[in-house]
Structure 1
Amino acid sequence: MRAVQITEFGGPEVLTISDVEEPKPGDGQVLIHVDRAGINYADTHQVENSYLQRATLPMIPGGEVVGRTDDGRRVVALVGGGGYAEKAVAYAPFAYDVPDEVSDGDALAIVLQGTTAWHLLKTSTHLKEGDTVLVHAGAGGVGSIAIQLAKRWGAGRVIATASSEEKRKQTLELGADVAIDGNPEGLKDRIIEANDGKPVDIVLEMVGGPTFDESVDALAKFGRLVTFGAASREAAKPVETGRLMKGSKTIAGFWLADCFSTPSMLAEPLAELMDLTAKGELKPLVGGEYAMSDIAQAHLDLRERRSVGKLVLDPAR
């Protein structure tokens, strides 16, 4: 079968199409004939072996797929790896039925980015009605869903950051109350200005580096920041305990993989998100579809912040 396989770590240039052996499902696994695969920013880290979990070679990237099982079920699945291919295997508890009303792109957007956004707001930062929420990269896969969920769940004000005027406009269309430039220079002041001169209660942070530092300084008393990525590929400064004690601030981390040991932590949020999407009450932002032959371009677009929302791979092209 055709698949994107890497045999050395590096940038987009190491992504090549190969003819590889079809995967064989083991005990408790299902084989999925892939219609579309998800492309994530985390994949760019995995390909260069800078992700949280070290990779081994050769490797087929791709963490989620949507397609058909041998018995005809249409499912979206978290596969952990091997998604950039014509066929993939998933453990049965992580293959979820997709309603007819939910498109392939929407299903891929909510199975990983959607459940991440759900947990960032519910599990990590304990959003309560009236909280002000800052969403970094608001036009991205997680951010675009987090904006909608925060508004739905009663946030008092949602502030989004984005790198261009076009992306900032998209965040407003998704429901953000204010959209600001995400450049870290002077970011703390822009955040507070966007909140009528007051610090914010919640920050969803996935940029790292100075953006993380500025965001910590923009937290209100009892504010909560959750970090779930490092898109800038820059390390943030260590946070001294005094900065947290003064203001009673909380900093948390989140990685969706930590939910895998408790399948209900994925199944329950996904069921809610799938229902909202089917009803048209949640609108995932699908930013583009790429042929398998264009996967290097997709990774380049992600790294250079040219993309919005969820990116999708078509393994048939």
Structure 2
Amino acid sequence: MRAIQFAEFGGPEVLHEVEAPDPVPGPGELLVEVEAAGVNFADFRQIGGFYAPPGSLPHIPGSEVLGRTADGRRVMGFTGNGFASKALITEAQAVDVPDSAGAGEALALLIQGLTAWHLLRSSARVRPGESVVVNSAAGGVGSLAVQLAKEFGAGRVIGTASRQDKRELVVSLGADVAVAGSADGYADRVVAANGGAGVDVILDAVGGRVFAAAQEALAPYGRLIGYGSSSGEKAPAVDPGVLTALNISVGGFWLRPLMSRGAMAPLAELFELTLAGKLKPQVGGEYPLAEAGRALSDLAGRQTVGKLVLVPSLG
């Protein structure tokens, strides 16, 4: 099979296309012919050596795929080696995907869609009428969180994004307003966008100085939920004295450890909303498998919107 592999840690330049043996399914596993593989910021971090390294190098990255089994089922699921023309997924977590759903749109619901759902429902526990700020709102999680926040009854949704074209996209997806997301002046811009009042919920994947500034934009009883650190900046220590003085809460969310605890259940609702046209997953680009490095460079450089996928059939 064709696969993308890295033999040393580094940037996207360490990725190379190779011919590798077909994976052999063990008990409870399905072998799928990959139609599309999701590209995530976690892949960029893995090849850079920021996450726990794989058992041995060389390694095929990629954490999610959609494809067909030998008996014709179209399924998607989590994997450990998804940047390839064939991959293994766990049968118990395989999700059947209707033929009417685009591969990129369906994959957008797996990691990004579930993360957005749980950020709003499980972590922030957004109540009808509350104000919600979504940082990096043009990205994979953010673009879905904006739409879901409205669907779940948020009173005012504010998105942040780095460029004007991205802010225009965020508004087109349902945000009431979109502002620049840089750390300098962050709290002032967010509060102004909320009519001069602090906000109830902020969802943040940027980390660093933006995460620190977000605390100052919260209303009493406000909740700041972090779920990433795309800025690469060292996260500031959370000062309990500040939380007490402002009457705010800070939390975190990571999807992967929750997969064995029913975290995938909301996929049924996400597919229902998507097929009904109430949720529109954004596919920011389809790349040939051989151009995995370019896809990751574009993603890390914040040049994209929505979900990125690798498509082996493109060459």
Range of TM-score over shorter length: over 0.9
In structure 1, distance between residues paired with 2:222 and 2:199: 7
Q: Which amino acid aligns with 1:243?
A: V
The residue number in structure 1 matching 2:29 is 29
Q: Which runs of 4+ in 1 moved over 3 A?
A: 53-56
**Secondary structure in 1 aligned to 2:260?**
coil
Q: How does 1:247-266 map to 2 (within 5 A)?
A: 247-262=246-261, 264-266=262-264
Q: Which amino acid aligns with 2:310?
A: L
Report the TM-score when normalising by structure 1: 0.97
In structure 2, distance between residues paired with 1:189 and 1:54: 40
The answer to whether the Cα contact below 8 Å between 1:3 and 1:315 also exists between their aligned partners in 2 is no
The residue number in structure 1 matching 2:295 is 298
Q: How does 1:135-150 map to 2 (within 5 A)?
A: 135-150=134-149
In structure 2, distance between residues paired with 1:248 and 1:99: 46
In structure 2, distance between residues paired with 1:224 and 1:55: 35
The residue number in structure 2 matching 1:287 is 284
* Higher mean displacement: 304-313 or 246-255: 246-255
**CA deviation profile, 1:214-258 (whole Å, cap 9, x unmatched):** 111111111111111000011121111111112321111111111
**Secondary structure in 1 aligned to 2:30?**
strand
The residue number in structure 2 matching 1:197 is 196
The answer to whether the Cα contact below 8 Å between 2:255 and 2:263 also exists between their aligned partners in 1 is no
**Secondary structure in 2 aligned to 1:44?**
helix
In structure 2, distance between residues paired with 1:244 and 1:71: 55
1:307 aligns with 2:312: no
In structure 2, distance between residues paired with 1:48 and 1:55: 12
**Secondary structure in 1 aligned to 2:219?**
strand
The answer to whether the Cα contact below 8 Å between 2:200 and 2:222 also exists between their aligned partners in 1 is yes
Q: How does 1:74-223 map to 2 (within 5 A)?
A: 74-79=74-79, 81-223=80-222
Q: Which runs of 5+ in 2 are unaligned?
A: none
Q: Which amino acid aligns with 1:69?
A: T
Report the TM-score when normalising by structure 2: 0.97
Q: Which amino acid aligns with 2:290?
A: S
Q: Which amino acid aligns with 1:73?
A: R
In structure 2, distance between residues paired with 1:125 and 1:35: 34
Q: Which runs of 5+ in 1 are unaligned?
A: none
| Residue-pair matches, total | 313
The answer to whether the Cα contact below 8 Å between 1:144 and 1:309 also exists between their aligned partners in 2 is yes
Please state how far the C-alpha of 1:284 moved relative to its aligned partner: 0.2
**Secondary structure in 2 aligned to 1:287?**
strand
Please state how far the C-alpha of 1:45 moved relative to its aligned partner: 0.6
Please state how far the C-alpha of 1:23 moved relative to its aligned partner: 0.8
* Higher mean displacement: 145-154 or 273-282: 273-282
In structure 1, distance between residues paired with 2:297 and 2:33: 27
The answer to whether the Cα contact below 8 Å between 1:223 and 1:250 also exists between their aligned partners in 2 is yes
Q: Which amino acid aligns with 2:12?
A: P
The residue number in structure 1 matching 2:45 is 45
Q: How does 1:45-64 map to 2 (within 5 A)?
A: 45-51=45-51, 53-56=52-55, 57-64=57-64
In structure 2, distance between residues paired with 1:206 and 1:93: 29
In structure 1, distance between residues paired with 2:305 and 2:41: 11
Please state how far the C-alpha of 1:149 moved relative to its aligned partner: 0.3
Alignment root-mean-square deviation, CA: 1.0
In structure 2, distance between residues paired with 1:115 and 1:154: 18
In structure 2, distance between residues paired with 1:55 and 1:245: 41
In structure 2, distance between residues paired with 1:31 and 1:295: 21
**CA deviation profile, 1:101-156 (whole Å, cap 9, x unmatched):** 21111111001100000000001100100110000011000000000000001001
